[in-house]
Amino acid sequence: MQGFPRALKECLPLDRVLLYSGPPCPLGASKGDSILRHLLLLSFLILGLWPFSSFAAPDANTQEEKLVKIRLLPERATVKGGETLWVGIEQSIAPHWHTYWRNPGDSGTPPRIVWTLPEGFEIEEILWPVPEKLPYEPLLNYGYAGNAVFLQKLRVPEALPEGPLTFSAETEILVCKEECIPEYGQYTFTLNDSQPSGTDSGAYLKAALEKIPLSVSWPASFTEKNGRFVLKITHDPQKFLCDETAGDIAFFPVEWGLVDNTGVPQTNFSDGQMILHQKRGDRPLEEVETLNGVIVCQSGDGTRQGFAFVAEKSAVLAASFPHILRTTDGERTDNIWVALIFALLGGLVLNLMPCVFPVLSIKALSLVKIAEKHPETARMHGLSYSAGVVLSFVLIAAVLIILKAGGAQIGWGFHLQNPYITGGLAILLLLIGLNFSGVFALRTSFGNIGGTLARREGLSGSFFTGVLAALVATPCTAPFMAGAVAYALLQPAYIAFIVFAALGVGLALPYLLLSFIPALQRLLPKPGRWMETFRHILAVPMFLAAIWLFWVFSQQVMPRPHPAEIMSLGSAYSEAALAEALEGDDPVFVEMTAAWCITCKVNHAIAIDVPSTRALFSEMKVVYLVGDWTNEDPAITKFLSDSGRNGVPLYIFYGVRNPATGERPAAVILPQILTPHIVERFIQGEIL
């Protein structure tokens, strides 16, 4: 029997078998001929149970009777304190039998070696020689036949005891042909013996070291395409022996189940890259974040060279991990000074948003009445307003940090996903609009307008007006702001507070400058009856904002299948939908939006849901997916986070697959303020 299939062997109560780490029992294979394969393996198990009766106790066979003869080979016979030396564990395997690699393939189990060392000695992990592919229809295993030498580095302590030093190793090795037999043994060697036995093994282990895969740090990634595993390695042509002339190229993954081991890999080379395709295995790629593997090349003279590498999950593997490789809005940063500048600029732009601008305008015009007669009071109001804005943003940062530390998947604007907050904010904006229009006078808190600013109690009103400005700004994400917020939420708490405070300073800065600089105050018009008319005009955007938030509230509390954007242009976003789209060859456009996001709605109305963009999407066969973040959605929050963002809007474009390499170009993030021309240039490949 060829060894236990992984799902079966891991269920067996065999206390002497080293169980290789793998999936829980039973294995849910469903691809290709996996059902037939498991039935055959079950038959092999039933027919071959008798050889495993010896698993219950150590093998008592002598070394001469074993199918695998073991030797422990120290590099030299004597050592000094602080040195290191190689120790080889040599397997001499009987003809037609084989043992297993660290990933045994479709069946089997790797060798186990347990050392007993003198005090102070340490031994490193096993270095595995380049394995072979061992076919046994319908299986294929990874392992060794003939002779194999495993290497471990022994570290000697500085202080050595006098006299000989004895080292012991217990081994458990599964050796297979048509049946599998576990063999156990205990072996020793001695260092610093006054009468050393045996010969120096240094030259022999040096030759064995040549059969260990060369460890390389080349960029590598893996993904899945049309049911095939795809591995991409950017290699050093001076060191990498694999190319189009190589007689045989083999791939040995350390992680189990990612490829169909019986599949034949296909490779192509272009611009210093090797791209390998192999039929997929049964294990979901979502379970593996980092892949360790070995690529083995065989030249015409039979020389085999292995290269050990580490590969990361590809950017377009699936929607659950869409790491965006390129941005064009200039907002991705890992520098705190750049983040602070972005935050300051983003806060400044927020002043132009439709909810914030009326509040700022009324505050600015109120300075007209007091600046000339009470300049000191004007400055105090500027500071009070700024304090309200900045402290509000710091409080928002604190809430975000606490909730994220508790495991919540949240981002900028998260509070507007709560219909109670949305409804409350709508009522507040309605009251402010009524106040602006003269229906009633509100002389405290947010309504500190006109003559009350000159009085002491007006300072608290300026403070709470700053709080209001920060609150009504949160449905918006201004240019420069998204990158700063995303950076802040990945940093320690004190840095996040500094970045959010800078965002608040940007929002408060226009009014603060007006309150402190007389030259700017002189640019404002003189007081008069026009101010009352202007207040009434400013009530209009407040009423419109209130109506909009009441509409958002209705969208949150009443079930709806999809937002209007999906019904008019594309399909609803999901991880599976994006993964399916990326497996195809057509370009993919992803829009992340929310009903409470003003910027999102404006962008969609003027740049996406217009005849020119509709025609372009149809002509270029663009797959259009829309994610609706109006209510909390952990999948969309994770997509935003993985894309380096913590709020909406977010627009990502995946270009057409290269027909020569089969690869897509790096996905790109579009600017947060869109026009039809910007969208057109991205779709047509003229990236800004």
Name the band, by pLDDT with cuts 50, 70 and 90, for residue 291. Answer: very high
Residue 166 is predicted with a pLDDT of 94
Asked whether 341 and 349 are in contact (CB, 8 A), the reply is: no
Name the band, by pLDDT with cuts 50, 70 and 90, for residue 143. Answer: very high
Asked whether 575 and 319 are in contact (CB, 8 A), the reply is: yes
Asked whether 452 and 461 are in contact (CB, 8 A), the reply is: yes
Asked whether 183 and 66 are in contact (CB, 8 A), the reply is: yes
Strand ranges in 178-303 using DSSP code E only, listed in sequence order: 180-191, 214-215, 220-225, 228-234, 248-253, 266-270, 273-279, 290-298
**Which of these, 628, 581, 611, 602, lies nearest to 680 by C-alpha position?**
611
pLDDT at 203 over 80: yes
Phi, psi (5° rounding) for residue 556?
-80, -35
**Which of these, 168, 185, 156, 154, lies nearest to 87 by C-alpha position?**
154
**Mean pLDDT value across residues 78-98:** 95
pLDDT at 186 over 90: yes
Name the band, by pLDDT with cuts 50, 70 and 90, for residue 297. Answer: confident
CB-based contacts of 284-288 (< 8 A; 24+ apart in sequence): 285/222, 285/223, 285/224, 285/229, 285/258, 285/313, 285/317, 285/318, 286/318, 286/320, 286/321, 288/255, 288/258, 288/313
Cis peptide before 26 (omega within 30 of 0): yes
Residue 27 is predicted with a pLDDT of 34
Residue 59 is predicted with a pLDDT of 40
Residue type (1 letter), 476: C
Where do we find the tokens 């508790």?
406
Q: Which of 27-31, 325-329, 346-350, 675-679 has the lowest mean pLDDT?
A: 27-31
Determine the 3-state secondary structure of 227 from DSSP.
coil
In sign, the C-alpha dihedral spanning 402, 405, 407, 410 is positive
Residue 375 is predicted with a pLDDT of 77
- Sequence-separated (6 or more) residues with CB below 8 Å from residue 284: none
Q: 3-state SS string over 239-259?
A: CCCCCCCCCEEEEEECCCCCE
**Mean pLDDT value across residues 602-619:** 91
Q: Which tens digit of pLDDT belongs to each residue from 218-250?
A: 888 898 876 789 898 888 776 776 765 555 789
- Sequence-separated (6 or more) residues with CB below 8 Å from residue 170: 113, 114, 116, 184, 185, 186
Q: Which of 143-147, 501-505, 543-547, 587-591 has the lowest mean pLDDT?
A: 543-547
Name the band, by pLDDT with cuts 50, 70 and 90, for residue 68. Answer: very high
Residue 91 is predicted with a pLDDT of 97
Q: Record the tokens describing residue 321, joined without a space.
A: 């991990």
Q: Record the tokens describing residue 430, joined without a space.
A: 């309605």
Q: Which tens digit of pLDDT belongs to each residue from 105-123?
A: 998 999 999 999 999 999 9
195 burial via Cβ count (<10 Å: 0-12, 13-18, 19+) = exposed
pLDDT at 557 over 70: yes
User: How many CB atoms are closer than 10 A to CB 213?
Assistant: 21
**Mean pLDDT value across residues 643-672:** 82
pLDDT at 97 over 50: yes
Q: Of 88-92, 159-163, 356-360, 424-428, where does the model show the most confidence?
A: 88-92
Residue 317 is predicted with a pLDDT of 40
Residue 490 is predicted with a pLDDT of 64
pLDDT at 1 over 90: no
Asked whether 435 and 441 are in contact (CB, 8 A), the reply is: yes
Where do we find the tokens 């963002």?
645
Q: Which of 40-49, 241-250, 466-475, 613-622 has the lowest mean pLDDT?
A: 40-49
Residue 442 is predicted with a pLDDT of 52
| Residue 3 or 506, more confident | 506
How far the first Cα of the chain sits from its last, in Å, is 62
Q: Which of 48-52, 60-64, 383-387, 460-464 has the lowest mean pLDDT?
A: 48-52
Rg of the Cα trace of the chain? Answer: 34
| Beta-bridge mates of residue 627 | 592
| Residue 3 or 538, more confident | 538
pLDDT at 567 over 60: no
What letter would DSSP give residue 615? H
- Sequence-separated (6 or more) residues with CB below 8 Å from residue 567: none
pLDDT at 565 over 70: no
d(CA 539, CA 449): 14
Mean pLDDT, the chain, integer: 77
d(CA 61, CA 449): 97
**Which of these, 104, 100, 72, lies nearest to 85 by C-alpha position?**
72
Residue type (1 letter), 504: G
Q: Which tens digit of pLDDT belongs to each residue from 36-47?
A: 444 444 444 444
- Sequence-separated (6 or more) residues with CB below 8 Å from residue 193: 77, 164
pLDDT at 327 over 70: no
Residue 558 is predicted with a pLDDT of 73
Determine the 3-state secondary structure of 295 from DSSP.
strand
Helices (H), 517-633: 518-521, 530-557, 564-568, 575-583, 598-603, 611-619
d(CA 543, CA 525): 25
Q: Which of 4-8, 195-199, 206-210, 531-535 has the lowest mean pLDDT?
A: 4-8
pLDDT at 641 over 70: yes
Asked whether 202 and 76 are in contact (CB, 8 A), the reply is: yes
pLDDT at 547 over 90: no
Residue 368 is predicted with a pLDDT of 62
pLDDT at 17 over 60: no
Phi, psi (5° rounding) for residue 310?
-125, 125
Q: Which domains does the chain have, with CATH numbers?
A: 5-47 (no CATH), 68-210 (2.60.40.10), 214-314 (2.60.40), 336-543 (no CATH), 564-683 (3.40.30.10)
**Which of these, 89, 259, 256, 275, lies nearest to 171 by C-alpha position?**
89
Residue 456 is predicted with a pLDDT of 37
58 conformational bin, left if phi > 0, alpha if psi -120 to 50, beta if neither: beta
Give the helix/strand (H/E) hosting 669. strand 668-669
Name the band, by pLDDT with cuts 50, 70 and 90, for residue 657. Answer: confident
Residue 354 is predicted with a pLDDT of 67
**Mean pLDDT value across residues 448-472:** 64
Residue 15 is predicted with a pLDDT of 32
pLDDT at 403 over 80: no
**Which of these, 555, 577, 682, lies nearest to 626 by C-alpha position?**
577
Name the band, by pLDDT with cuts 50, 70 and 90, for residue 13. Answer: very low
User: How many CB atoms are closer than 10 A to CB 31?
Assistant: 12
